[in-house]
Structure 1
Amino acid sequence: MAEPTAHPPTTTVREAVLALCRATGMTTVFGNPGSTELRMFRDWPEDFRYVLGLQESTAVAMAAGHALGTGRAALVSLHSAGGLGHSLGAVFNAYRDRVPVVIIAGQQSRALLPLRPFLGADEPARFPRPYVKFSRQPERAADVPAALAEAHRVAMSHPRGPVFLSVPEDDWDRPAGPVAPRTVHGGYTADPAALTGLARALDASARPALVVGPGVDDERAVRDVAELAERLRAAVWISPLSGRSGFDERHPLFQGFLPPVADQLAERLAGHDVVVALGAPLFTYHVHTEAPPLADGTELYHLDCDPAQAAWLPVGTSIVTTLRPALRTLTDLVRPADRPAPPPRPAPEPLPATSAEEISPELVMDLLRERLPRDTVLVEETPSHRDALHARLPISGEGRFLTTGSGALGWGLPLAVGRALADGERVVCVVGDGSALYSVQALWTAARHRAPVSYVLLDNGGYSAVKALGHRIGIAPVPGTDIGGIDFAALAGSFGCPAERVEHPDRLPKALDRALALGRDDGPLLLQVRVPADDSPAYEPWAR
């Protein structure tokens, strides 16, 4: 008699998903729970950590910070259609900044979906597009674990980015087979002939320049860029409004930050005959001017892993490649240059004259420059004062500068929480009052998990960056830009985050000393610093 057929043991969707999360390192889950996610949390395992965000965009931003700190994808659980909708500004940032975030949103029971139920999403896979790399609601419950595994692989493949999976709430208890994790090696190198042609152009160049974008930091290619720049004796710029640094700003070849204005950008690069953009779209503009992308005589080459980005650039030769192998090949191909190195970037201008009763943003940046250790992770979201920060507070070290590369506010404050939770090292976050109000709830999470973040909140009483842009185009006053009178120190205290308020220059040095002396076990602290409003036109500093 034949032996009975052996059947593999059956698990549930929930069990298979948790096993996959363990295998891929996604055991810290950021989220904001709701009714359609409850079955996912049945018998929540002790080796998983749930980090609650009090609003869904803060949950996504915290997950992004965690992913940037660990180098692995981070998992976010959102509540149905409304929760995903709340999060989309942060999803947009994660997409533009190439952050691998795996988003799961609850959906109503499958039997209810034809009835357009309360909380249900009519077309869930279309909802977050085009700002996710992958979006799906599986046809069957049994397909959920495999779909999650595919989403994770897509998120971690270059160019990295967020992915989305919608899961009906009754799927979690349905049977499903386990999914074995597997490895996808994502690096790929350019056509050798293309790199050889670029090497010839660089060897023949009289004044080459490299433009470093966020892709350099994302691919951990900072050292490779420095070696190429030193071999070429090339000037190095950072691309407009970059979400990362990508080059040591204390390096003698560093020239500064390109402006997000077409005519000013072309003028800055006009002195270079060959420009190589690395992991940067280069032409990231904030305001329009009638000007060609580059001056006559400037030849552009563009290296990046994103073929879509290569396709839309208006000028230049694009080479689609991951950066590290291409940079190493290119460094070997080019001859050591004997051309003079470009003059170093000018030192910061002296502090502007201010009242002895006011704290200028420049003073804050100078004091931070004197006090911050070189290996500090700095998170920035202060649009009104980003020029002052770039001019006066140089960043060095891979992964040491994080900001929004897309402009959707509310990113920085929770991003700092997730980044601090990734490895427990203290993070310094310089944030504006307007930006902080988009995601101030993240202070509760920082306090709850004792995230080691020192917040320096620059309070100028309004949306000064918007006022400045209005001034630039002749609109003044701009309605809806005054938000003064908020006691952020008291607000932080109500969330459980210790805080201090500083309004006089004499008190600022010691207050910063206290904030920056805290260790990894001391939890968060917020320092509210009152600075004067500034109505000068936007981007005027770039023109000098």
Structure 2
Amino acid sequence: MATEKKQTVWAATYDLLRSLGLTTIFGNPGSTEQPFLKNFPDDFDYILALQEASAVAMADGFAQATGKPVLVNLHTNAGTGNGMGNIMTAFQNKTPLIITAGQQTREMIICDPLLTNRDETALPKPYVKWAYEPKRAQDVPRAIMRAYALALQPPAGPVYVSIPLDDWDKTALGTADVRTVSSRVGPDPERVKEFAKRISTAKNPALIYGAEVEKAGGWDAGIALAEKLRAPVFRAPAAERACFPETHALFQGELVSAMGPLSQRLEGHDLIVVIGAPVFRYYPYVPGPVIPEGSSLLQVTDDPTDAGSALVGDSLLSDAKLALEALLELVEDDSARIAPASRQILRTLPEVPNSPLTANEVYAALSEVRPEGAIVVQETPSNYNDFLHWWPSKAPGEYYTYASGGLGHNAPSSVGVALAQRKLGTNRPVITVIGDGSLQYSVQSLASAAQHKLKIIYIVPCNGEYAILKEFAELEKTPNVPALDLPFLDINSLAKGYGCSTANASTKEEIQAAFKIALTTEGPTVITIPIKRELKSLVPPAFKH
């Protein structure tokens, strides 16, 4: 009788990954990962990034756009270190990434050879939900299954498994057990009734929606609740996703991420209801009360840390969509309440265009050729508000940025978002709006966009400076900070070297013409646009100190 051939850890792991749908892997292969990547299966896709930080961000964008967990493969401690900035951002984006990293051979770890991942579970902390190195090779599939379950459960986030390179050829325990877990937590019935009663009896409530509303699929429920209450809706400060149609009459704009001005903006509201966001995401420090005197606050979040770190208010742990639907059913219709006045946005342009154009003029020009269904990935810190004025989000899935404030995430993230559109078959173009300084943090991601011929249009406003840092220097009263002017950057030559189409545009007509050509060009296009140097106040002009 023939003896049944035992399955290897390698084979058991790939079978598990298939069962979990983790067949797209992002990484930059290293020596400690090659035993995992050998004989790479035909039914898997390996997305090459030329640096590990880009690999993590690409996976982040792909996971957010598909709504599913993604596998990232990093090179031991060196690759983990390279990826840490974007692992931090993925953690704050609450993106479910299963990060695996190679480790040295078990038999050699005792003598600390090159590329040993020392204290392997400490390096990625505190920006992973769980970090682990299996004690036995046979436990690798179980460790990945556990990582998957933890990454998905709220709050979602990255997890990390270090795997010695000699584990893959060991004999597995057998076929890995596949488990399912819930990715949502529902609201406590009694507490949601209490919240609904407080909202119904408020004289002038304000709704603040955060990224969790869109991620949970709560867009329509959020609109319905606002319309039933006839209450104004604000976007949470520094929100990484849109959460409400920004052309809606009830939308009042994004709140500034500073204590004093934020509180002042909410004056007159006796109840502030924050759904799907921290209370609050601040930067910079501008002193003032958290909320106006005489008002109170309710928070709905699926993240116990966000609930615990709130400086004021009462919290309800819940998936944003489930909470919105429960509140919608329970709150009283207040048709007698006078709806707030629509937000007035001054979209003024000079009679004679500036030379070079201002960021405001650039985004005004682009708004006239905005294609239906286009997705924007944004990393332009110094002219962010100009962009939002001219390119409001109208539907779910139209806007992405980072939750962390760490530069270097969104150029590669847009590659992941565009790959997701191809996988989903949407054919939606991705517009990456990124500063000339920001692009340098992960410029190598252009190569991945070109390799896969992705429909990405990079809009690069070029002011030749770190303008946001000059604005902070004024706020913080720190004159003569060095290195805030950028050296000469030939971004078009860089982009051509990575395989992208390029254009330089200086006028409204040139910008619109280049953009229209980019929409019909196969693969990515980088459009550089010289803009006027401007320093804008980080504190709203009307703020009362």
TM norm structure 1? 0.96
Q: 1:229 to 1:209 in 2, by over 3 A?
A: same
- Conserved in 2, the CA contact under 8 Å of 1:357 and 1:505? no
- 1:503 aligns with 506
* Distance 1:479-1:432 versus aligned 2 partners, 3 A rule: same
Separation (CA, whole Å) in 2 of partners of 1:206 and 1:322: 26
1:536 to partner: Cα distance:
3.3
Given that 1:471 and 1:538 are in contact with CA atoms closer than 8 Å, whether structure 2 keeps it comes out as no
Whole-Å separation in 1 of the counterparts to 2:63 and 2:7: 29
Q: 1:330 aligns with which of 311, 327, 331?
A: 327
2:389 is the alignment partner of 1:386: no
SS of aligned partner of 2:163:
strand
Percent of residue pairs identical? 36
- Give the whole-Å Cα distance in 1 for the aligned partners of 2:486 and 2:183: 46
Choose from 479, 484, 497 the match for 1:481: 484
> Which deviates more, 325-334 or 505-514?
505-514
Letter in 2 for 1:466: L
Equivalent runs, 1:320-359 vs 2, <5 Å: 320-338=317-335, 339-351=337-349, 356-359=354-357
Assess if the C-alpha contact under 8 Å between 2:365 and 2:508 holds in 1: no
1:56 aligns with 2:52: yes
Q: Displacement of 1:477 after TM fit?
A: 3.2
**Higher alpha-carbon deviation: 58-67 or 502-511:** 502-511
Query: Which residue pairs with 1:80 in the alignment?
Result: 76
Among residues 391, 410, 416, which one is paired with 2:408 in the alignment? 410
Q: Out of 194, 199, 216, which is 2:196 matched to? A: 199
Q: 1:9 to 1:188 in 2, by over 3 A?
A: farther
Distance in 2 between residues matched to 1:172 and 1:355, nearest whole Å: 63
2:318 maps to amino acid? T
1:242 is aligned to 239
Tell me the CA shift for residue 9 of structure 1: 5.3
Whole-angstrom CA distance in 2 between matches of 1:368 and 1:287? 30
SS in 2 for 1:36: coil
Distance in 2, Cα, partners of 1:134 & 1:103? 10
Q: Tell me the distance in 2 between the aligned counterparts of 1:171 and 1:27.
A: 21
Cα 1:289–1:246, aligned 2, differ >3 Å: closer, same or farther?
Answer: same
Contact 2:366/2:511 (<8 A) preserved? no
Corresponding residue of 1:91: 87
Letter in 1 for 2:132: R
Which one of 33, 42, 46 corresponds to residue 42 of structure 2? 46
Task: Tell whether the 8 Å contact from 1:88 to 1:128 is kept in structure 2 after alignment.
Answer: yes
Deviations 1:386-416 (A, max 9, x none): 1111222211211211001111100110000
Work out the number of aligned pairs and report it.
Answer: 537
Displacement after TM superposition at 1:8 (Å): 7.2
Aligned to 2:494: 491
Q: Give the structure 2 partner of residue 539 of structure 1.
A: 539
- The change in CA–CA distance for 1:416 and 1:330 in structure 2 (over 3 A counts) is same
1:178 aligns with 2:175: yes
Structure 1: segments with no counterpart, 5+ residues? none
Unaligned runs of 5+ in 2: 423-427
1:369 is matched by which residue type in structure 2?
A: S
Render the CA deviation track for 1:233-287: whole Å, top value 9, x for unaligned: 1110011111111111111110001001100000011221111111100311111
Q: Is 1:469 the equivalent of 2:472? A: yes
- CA distance in structure 2 between the aligned counterparts of 1:218 and 1:347, rounded to whole angstroms: 27
**Deviation at 1:353?**
6.9
Residue of structure 2 equivalent to 1:445: 448
**Which of these residues, 93, 112, 116, is aligned with residue 116 of structure 1?**
112
Residue 253 (structure 2) aligned to one of 239, 256, 259 = 256
Counterpart residue identity of residue 126, structure 1: A
Preserved CA contact (<8 Å) 1:421 1:451: yes
With 354-363 and 272-281 compared, the bigger mean Cα shift is at: 354-363
The structural deviation recorded for 1:232 is 0.7
Verify: 1:190 aligned to 2:187, yes or no.
yes
Cα distance in structure 1, aligned partners of 2:446 and 2:32? 26
Paired residue type of 1:377: I
The one-letter code of the counterpart of 1:80 is T
Partner of 2:155: 159
Cα shift at 1:542 = 7.8
Question: Which residue, 347, 364, 367 being the options, matches 2:365?
Answer: 367
The residue number in structure 2 matching 1:306 is 303
CA RMSD of aligned residues (A): 1.7
The equivalences for 1:429-440 within 5 A come to 429-440=432-443
Q: 1:271 to 1:375 in 2, by over 3 A?
A: farther
**Aligned pairs (5 A) from 1:119-138:** 119-138=115-134
1:283 aligns with 2:280: yes
1:203-214 aligned at under 5 Å gives the runs: 203-214=200-211
Q: Could you tell me which amino acid in structure 2 is paired with residue 524 of structure 1? A: P
Letter in 2 for 1:274: L
Indicate how the Cα distance of structure 1 residues 400 and 150 shifts in structure 2: closer, same or farther if over 3 A, else same.
same
**Deviation of 1:515 (Å):** 2.3
Cα distance in 1, alignment partners of residues 127 and 151 from structure 2: 12
User: How far did 1:355 drift?
Assistant: 5.2
Contact 1:301–1:317 (CA under 8 A) maintained in structure 2: yes
Q: Deviations over 1:91-144 (max 9, x none)?
A: 011000111111111010011111111111111111101111111001000000
Q: Assess, with a 3 A threshold, how the Cα gap between structure 1 residues 173 and 356 changes in structure 2: closer, same or farther.
A: same
The letter for the 2-side match of 1:116 is: D
